[in-house]
Structure 1
Amino acid sequence: MQRFLLKGGKVLGATSSDLLISNGRIEAISKSISDETATVIDLKGSVVLPGLVDLHTHLREPGREDSETVASASRAGAKGGFTALSAMANTSPVADTAGVVEQVYRLGQEAGLVDVFPIGAVTQGLKGEQLSEIGAMADSVARVRVFSDDGNCVFDPLVMRRALEYIKKFDGVIAQHAQEPRLTVGSQMNEGIISSKLGLKGWPAIAEEAIIARDVLLADHVQSRLHICHVTTAGGVEIIRWAKARGIQVTAEVTPHHLLLTDDLASSYDPIFKVNPPLRTEHDVMALREALADGTIDIVATDHAPHTSETKDCEWAEASFGMIGLETALSIVTKTMVESGLLDWAGVAQRMSIAPAAIGRYSNHGQELVVGSSAHITVINPTKSWVVDRDLVLSKSRNTPYHGYELPGLVTHTFFGGRATMIDSKVIDKVVQ
């Protein structure tokens, strides 16, 4: 395997150091390293982070390869600085058996650009009625530890309780899509003044908060691990803060788009801004940023949701929910959290690498950059900006809400297990060593 000498980058944004990569691991970190056998890369002005880990990605394969494949999402992930992706279960067929999660796992290995960790469905067919093959998926070669019906809420409290009980025996976690279905029938956007003006059926904050409140109490009763997907409301933040103060085993995520975008964008009737859960108010956005900064929200997860142009370039009511985000995630966090002073780079590493890997029990990821650790590495130059162009994304889909945005922070290099998967912002195919 090729040796790399990264010169002059700031490890976690601290002091400038050289970093030597050899045999898939970090061999040395020092003020000055010389190695004539290594490929030298000048990282002056850049920040060196542990490889990013996404705990919430829709890879669409099997079944919707017209929107995305494991291979294309892996390329998009590498471009965004990710070294691990978590494949949500709402594929076709649903990832509710050992056979399907093993298929997704092996597709990730074949692509070879990131580790792909399948997420297993909580219930058969995502219907919320009968538990899936949870134990078989946990025991499979994919070693599934995260289970979610994302796209659907596990709405039945008895089913949710049984799922929380089941995953305790192998230290799993249930990742809940918090959406009370009876309160969101036909909902199109955040319920509020803007939805009333636009004549679009509102999606009330209480629909999210009611499920979060119920499930943290269930998790406390069962003494099991609960993860709340894509938190969007200030009220949800307060419930999670209360639960953590009581010692309940709950973690939570926020998406980059919910840290930046607000429901007023729906005024354009452009369905690029239609997402589940919906964009909320400026008040909610500020509460989410503060919660991410103080640790109430543990991680950033992309909820990368690719869709074909046919399902997005249509009238709002008929359009699919979702937007892509792998390639822009770190820049959005730079804009909303780093430039605002809410997080330093160590905080970014914690929320986009270390903590998501810990929640998912991905033992080979989310490691601090020290001698001997796996060389999963992301390099970002915060002094450089770039303009998002939907025609240049590596995802098969083009549904980015940031087309034309100038964003801070250019991801320039990604190393996956010591192998360069991106150099100078150009993704390198697996066969190149």
Structure 2
Amino acid sequence: MDYLLKNGRLLINDHLQICDLLITDGKIAALGNDLTAAAATTLDLQGNFVSPGLVDLHVHLRDPGQTYKETIRTGSLAAAHGGFTFIGAMPNVTPVPDNVQQVQTMVQRNRAEGVVHIGQYATITTERTGRQLVDFPALKAAGAFAFSNDGSGIQNTATMEQAMRAVAEVGLPLAAHVEDDSLIHGGVMNAGTRAEQLGLPGISNTVETAQLARDLALAQATGVHYHVCHVSTAESVQLIRDAKEAGVNVTCEVTPHHLLLSDQDIPADDGNYKMNPPLRSEHDRQALIVGLLDGTIDCIATDHAPHSDAEKQQSMRQAPFGIIGSEMAFSLLYTNFVKTRIFTLKQLINWLSQKPAQIFQLATSGQLSVGQPADIAVFDLDHPYQITAVSLLSKGHNTPFIDTQVCGETVYTFVAGQIAYQRGGTK
């Protein structure tokens, strides 16, 4: 079906302007004023904001292996609900996509069962154990769009160096979860005064920064495109800033929750506040905001990590790490940063759409231009709404943002020109 989107507001020359958009055969056919198309279904957007579809480089779909937490279908529906039209599916599933057959199977299933575009990560090592490297050229040929052992930092330096050299040869990004296991000591939240008040074991900033410093040195030596997942500390931001200035081919992401919350916002021993990396200090949170604004941090990614209610309704000592984010990322960030004039709308869309598409070379994502696939999100910037558990399309409800009032509700999400989500539609 073709669509004529009337009376939407597009960012043109940094200003919101009323503009029509015609979708034909899954692509953007025209942008302009007073467009007509007799054969197209007309939708009056009533001044709502028309954005390039959002791009999330970091999502956990839990499928196969833990489908009680999420599936390809529910996770991609959640992404569409949040305005995302492309997501990167992390490989910490069972069986692991560490061989040609499994990567091919996942690529096929993503295409058949997902309602948004899904890029499939392959692992860096077999079974994500950090020991034996995978066959990188074969997995790229099988359809992997990047490599990661997400959830597990690679502990052996020689293994990481060999992986970087091999991934550099195939020309894809290597996305790293940086965490030195020997420094964790059973921690469940950020080390500091709040952890002491709650009587919980802490995770120091060094757990992240020690391995990051090592990896940046290896990335400089190998030339690989090294992408740092979920940066969380001020020290990490400075290390990456220095590495970029030195010419290292490094990019990085930050999550909405690390931008919005610090460990001082944790009200009690509540499993919904347990995430990895943990919520850090207010000093770290402010450094992340500065890192985004000065270009050190390239993009925002949700690290959408669903768990069952029973798993998260425990002490942080027992609850698994992880927070959902697909369905509320834009609205939370728009409300807390754009409406307060800390970010501009243009900056936010760049970090959530254009920049992640650019750094991972996703040529058909992150754009609103004639001839490009019609991957489009439409947001209501003006009317507040409440995030509720019942409205979520993910199987997971594990977030402290339930019952928060925000602006920026998704009205439509179009993927390849077809409606993947519509406000008021059935679950």
My pick for the range that moved more, 250-259 or 278-287, is: 278-287
Query: Is this contact kept in 2: 1:303–1:325, CA < 8 A?
Result: yes
Q: 1:404 to 1:181 in 2, by over 3 A?
A: same
Superposition deviation, residue 427 in structure 1: 6.6
Question: Which of the numbers 22, 37, 40 marks the counterpart of 1:38?
Answer: 40
Superposition deviation, residue 134 in structure 1: 2.3
Query: Is this contact kept in 2: 1:61–1:104, CA < 8 A?
Result: no
Query: Is this contact kept in 1: 2:264–2:282, CA < 8 A?
Result: no
My pick for the range that moved more, 341-350 or 395-404, is: 341-350
- Partners of 1:427 and 1:136 in 2: CA distance: 41
Indicate the residue corresponding to 1:382 in structure 2: 381
Question: Which of the numbers 18, 21, 45 marks the counterpart of 2:20?
Answer: 18
Residues 179-222 of structure 1 show CA distances to partners (whole Å, capped at 9, x for unaligned) of: 11111130110011111222211111121111222111111111
- Partners of 2:24 and 2:267 in 1: CA distance: 52
Query: Is this contact kept in 2: 1:383–1:409, CA < 8 A?
Result: yes
- Partners of 1:25 and 1:295 in 2: CA distance: 31
- Partners of 2:413 and 2:259 in 1: CA distance: 24
| Paired amino acid for 2:162 | R
My pick for the range that moved more, 189-198 or 130-139, is: 130-139
- What RMSD over aligned residues (CA atoms) do the two structures have, in Å? 1.5
| Paired amino acid for 1:390 | A
- Partners of 1:133 and 1:287 in 2: CA distance: 38
Q: 1:216 to 1:203 in 2, by over 3 A?
A: same
- Partners of 1:341 and 1:240 in 2: CA distance: 26
- Partners of 1:83 and 1:145 in 2: CA distance: 16
Query: Is this contact kept in 2: 1:313–1:319, CA < 8 A?
Result: yes
Superposition deviation, residue 425 in structure 1: 5.0
- Partners of 1:18 and 1:268 in 2: CA distance: 49
Query: Is this contact kept in 2: 1:78–1:427, CA < 8 A?
Result: no
- Partners of 1:394 and 1:112 in 2: CA distance: 13
Q: 1:137 and 2:136 equivalent?
A: no
Indicate the residue corresponding to 2:204 in structure 1: 204
Superposition deviation, residue 120 in structure 1: 0.9
Superposition deviation, residue 9 in structure 1: 1.6
1:361-376, aligned counterparts within 5 Å?
361-366=361-366, 368-376=367-375
TM-score for both structures, normalised by structure 2: 0.96
> Match of 1:318, SS?
coil
| Paired amino acid for 2:301 | A
Query: Is this contact kept in 2: 1:89–1:148, CA < 8 A?
Result: yes
Indicate the residue corresponding to 2:301 in structure 1: 301
Question: Which of the numbers 57, 60, 65 marks the counterpart of 2:59?
Answer: 57
Superposition deviation, residue 112 in structure 1: 4.3
Query: Is this contact kept in 1: 2:292–2:299, CA < 8 A?
Result: yes
My pick for the range that moved more, 96-105 or 62-71, is: 96-105
| Paired amino acid for 2:32 | S
- Partners of 1:98 and 1:71 in 2: CA distance: 23
- Partners of 1:425 and 1:139 in 2: CA distance: 40
Residues 306-336 of structure 1 show CA distances to partners (whole Å, capped at 9, x for unaligned) of: 1112211122211100011110011122123
Q: 1:427 to 1:101 in 2, by over 3 A?
A: farther
> Match of 2:337, SS?
helix
Superposition deviation, residue 94 in structure 1: 1.6
Sequence identity, in percent?
37
Query: Is this contact kept in 2: 1:225–1:249, CA < 8 A?
Result: yes
Indicate the residue corresponding to 1:416 in structure 2: 415
- Partners of 2:345 and 2:33 in 1: CA distance: 19
- Partners of 1:288 and 1:108 in 2: CA distance: 32
- Partners of 1:289 and 1:418 in 2: CA distance: 34
Indicate the residue corresponding to 2:253 in structure 1: 253
Question: Which of the numbers 123, 135, 150 marks the counterpart of 2:125?
Answer: 123
TM-score for both structures, normalised by structure 1: 0.94
> Match of 2:419, SS?
strand
Residues 3-46 of structure 1 show CA distances to partners (whole Å, capped at 9, x for unaligned) of: 11111222235322111111111111112212222222222332
Indicate the residue corresponding to 2:111 in structure 1: 109
Residues 123-142 of structure 1 show CA distances to partners (whole Å, capped at 9, x for unaligned) of: 111111111232221111x2
Query: Is this contact kept in 2: 1:79–1:427, CA < 8 A?
Result: no
| Paired amino acid for 1:378 | A
1:32-431, aligned counterparts within 5 Å?
32-140=34-142, 142=143, 144-366=144-366, 368-426=367-425
Query: Is this contact kept in 2: 1:25–1:417, CA < 8 A?
Result: yes
- Partners of 1:410 and 1:384 in 2: CA distance: 8
My pick for the range that moved more, 160-169 or 105-114, is: 105-114
Q: 1:401 to 1:100 in 2, by over 3 A?
A: farther
- Partners of 1:265 and 1:95 in 2: CA distance: 37
- Partners of 1:112 and 1:70 in 2: CA distance: 6
Indicate the residue corresponding to 1:8 in structure 2: 7
Indicate the residue corresponding to 1:431 in structure 2: none
My pick for the range that moved more, 98-107 or 153-162, is: 98-107
Q: 1:98 to 1:427 in 2, by over 3 A?
A: farther
Query: Is this contact kept in 2: 1:24–1:374, CA < 8 A?
Result: yes
- Partners of 1:427 and 1:54 in 2: CA distance: 24
- Partners of 2:260 and 2:303 in 1: CA distance: 14
